[in-house]
Amino acid sequence: MKAFLAACAMALPLAAAAPAAAELPPPPVAKKVPKAMTKFGDRRVDPYFWLRGKEKPEVIAHLQAENAYAEAATAHLAPFREKLYKEMLSRIKETDESVPYRRHGWWYYAREVEGLQYPIYCRRKGTMEAPEEVMLDVNALAEGRAYTGVDFWEVSPDGNLLAYAADFSGYREYTVFVKDLRTGELLPDRLERVDDMTWAGDSATLFYVRQNAAKRPDRLYRHKLGARRDALVWHEPDELFSLSVGATRSDEWIVATSASKDTTEVRVIPAATPGAAPRTVARRRKGHEYSVDHHGADFWIRTNDRGKNFRLVRAPVADPAPARWKQVLAHRKGVTLEAVDLFKGFWVAEEREDGIVRLRVTDFATAARHDIGMPEAVYSTGAGINAEWDADRFRFVYESYVTPRSVYDYDPASRERTLLKRQPVLGPFDPLDYDSAMLFATAKDGTKVPVSLVWKRSLREGGPQPLLLYGYGAYGIPMDPHFSSARLSLLDRGMVFAVAHVRGGGDRGRPWYDDGKLARKMNTFTDFIAAAEFLVARRWTASDRLVIEGGSAGGLLVGAVANLRPDLFRAVASQVPFVDVLTTMLDATLPLTTGEYIEWGNPNVEREYRWIRRYSPYDNLARKAYPAMLVEASLNDSQVPYWEAAKYVARLRELKTDANPVLLKTVMEAGHGGASGRYDALRETAFTYAWILDQVGLAR
């Protein structure tokens, strides 16, 4: 019977019945306006540069024509999309609330209500049995708007005022409003283009970081409520650096940080005296990264001064200069110290070894140390919301490919954990129906590249089957296993989901990141190809059943590998893709460009220009056959402008020699993260998943 089922699976059509080409209108053809682009003797002609003009009616008309074509080309999937949407929605508990956390005598939480797109932020005084106070209903704020994002907010230490940052376009340009929680009235204070903020101890002063015209957070201000002018605390003129601000858990210090991709400088201000001049903990030194927290008479400093994987030191508050640093945890070759959480009675180190995160707890009084045990071999974990300095519990979050996101409180004294909430998955979901594994592919240079997989046990017959391979590989960001109830719609149809943990990410510590950036960026792409070849060789999948996906820098990844090995993949799903790397990095007026020189290279330097020129997806498109592609963008994206996707699709259609479809879908009212409402976001996922499943014959 198993052999018969496997044979039937192998015989599945590679795509569901799509409309015949004659039934579709031809794809939009972007006009060509040749623009010569030369650098270091490399003469390029960019005929689609004009698509950068967002304000031009012809650009909007072109994007709308592309959307209409994408809708027509996927019209046969409309019933299936709706089926997927309802299926994914049916697994979600639509009326739900988050686990409450305590701060300054209040319990804070968020509620979601069936039918409403956005969260409602609430609190209760003293106990969870007290009357509910609604601080902010984002649904009310969003009335009449196509996009609303409230991505960060803070309550003043005295509990009376709420400062919240709202973005109404998706461009991540935030205005901060201040609400009096006693009266419900908004104060007249408005702070524009805010990137980060925190309250001082007097509950009347806000420190905030403001973006410049290029969206670089370069100025830290001190705002006294009601004041007409704000004091400039720190201006960062270096275009490679960005500012951020926060407060220590002890509530005693304001910590301002200027950071590039490889260098840090921190200044501290007593929270009780916000007008005090900031003090520098350690002056910036190229390649030195550090972060600062506080406990008692000392600052605690995570630093890479003696190795890439960081060590932990402490220094007296009175004089925290590097000469006074005393080691707490030494640098270890195979262990990356990713974060440290300090509490009054204990502290927790978040460490990564062999790609696995562990949480190590140390008691301040006894110096006794132990790890929090985890139940699975392939998982993700980290600190949850821990707002109280004198807490006797540590809150952490745990999930895996088969275990929904779970919030625990951990007692360091008894070593007991309490499950507070596990993400509800409605319907017939049983984690035991699914399995996961971590395998290792061998890269070109012999490096072992981790590949994690999850699948439905009953549908795994041992032969090649449809597989979705995801990748990112940038900024040192790890792709740790996480649970997705929407992903069950892929697994339950027989698709395997896999992640290639390629270099450039942080999956195996800082050295893994450094080995996939700048001059070594090609490792990211060849690692991904090695992972795909490994999965084909091990008969997890076959080239005609293999779909790849990536977003943002992951869109760069899948664009580059589609140029390098187009024969290896059936289809490519690319979201907000960074595919026009060379042209973007040559334009210092664009948001984020100059700060990215340390990630990709500065193309105004010939050697670094050559690095980027070698892999930039747009610049390496060629006259050959390519996989089917779905490219998704957002009109108001401040991180990867919509025109990168639009130019890429136009040029790809011009050059490719095959008949595989190439679709461009642009969300006209959103930014880098897509739709802001949860139902709208789920419909976007249904669109993408329907297309992916259709490519491998599973659209049913």
Name residue 449's amino acid: V
Question: Cβ distance 267 to 234 under 8 Å?
Answer: yes
Q: Show Cβ contacts of residue 186 under 8 Å, excluding neighbours closer than 6 positions.
A: 177, 178, 179, 180
Q: Show Cβ contacts of residue 332 under 8 Å, excluding neighbours closer than 6 positions.
A: 309
Conformational region of residue 584, where left means phi above 0, alpha means psi within -120 to 50, and beta covers everything else = alpha
How many helices (H) and strands (E) the chain has is answered by 13, 38
The residues pairing with 409 across neighbouring beta strands, listed in sequence order, are 395, 418
CA distance 98 to 505: 30
Instruction: Kindly report each contact of residues 91-98 with a partner whose C-beta sits within 8 Å and lies 24 or more positions away, as own/partner.
Output: 91/425, 91/426, 91/427, 91/429, 91/485, 91/486, 91/488, 92/424, 92/426, 92/485, 92/682, 93/424, 93/426, 96/424, 97/122, 98/421
Task: Report the SS3 class of residue 312.
Answer: strand
CB environment 294-315: b (16+ within 10 A), e (fewer): bbeebbbbbbbbebbbbbbbbb
Q: 651: part of which helix (H) or strand (E)? A: helix 642-655
| Residues with active-site annotation | 552, 637, 672
User: What is the sign of the dihedral through the CA atoms of 213, 219, 224 and 230?
Assistant: negative
CA distance 352 to 505: 13
CA distance 315 to 325: 5
Q: How far out from the chain centre does Cα 437 lie?
A: 23
CA distance 552 to 550: 7
Q: List the Cα angle 131/136/140 in 5-degree steps.
A: 115
CA dist 476 → 147, 338, 431 (Å): 30, 11, 30
Q: Which two tokens stand for residue 47?
A: 């005929």
Look up tokens 């006794």; give the residue.
368
Question: Cβ distance 131 to 174 under 8 Å?
Answer: no
The residues pairing with 454 across neighbouring beta strands, listed in sequence order, are 436, 497
Phi, psi (deg, nearest 5) at residue 31: -65, 155
The residues pairing with 282 across neighbouring beta strands, listed in sequence order, are 266
The string of DSSP letters for 100-152 reads PEEETTEEEEEEE-TT-SS-EEEEEESSTTSPEEEEEEHHHHTTT-S--EEEE
CA dist 74 → 77, 345, 689 (Å): 5, 58, 12
Listing from the earlier edge strand, what are the strands of the sheet with 242-247? Answer: 242-247, 253-259, 264-270, 279-282
Q: How far out from the chain centre does Cα 82 lie?
A: 27
Q: How far out from the chain centre does Cα 69 lie?
A: 29
Question: Cβ distance 161 to 203 under 8 Å?
Answer: yes
Q: Show Cβ contacts of residue 671 under 8 Å, excluding neighbours closer than 6 positions.
A: 147, 149, 167, 169, 170, 171, 172, 634, 636, 637, 638, 639
The string of DSSP letters for 517-528 reads SGGGTHHHHHHH
CA distance 15 to 298: 63
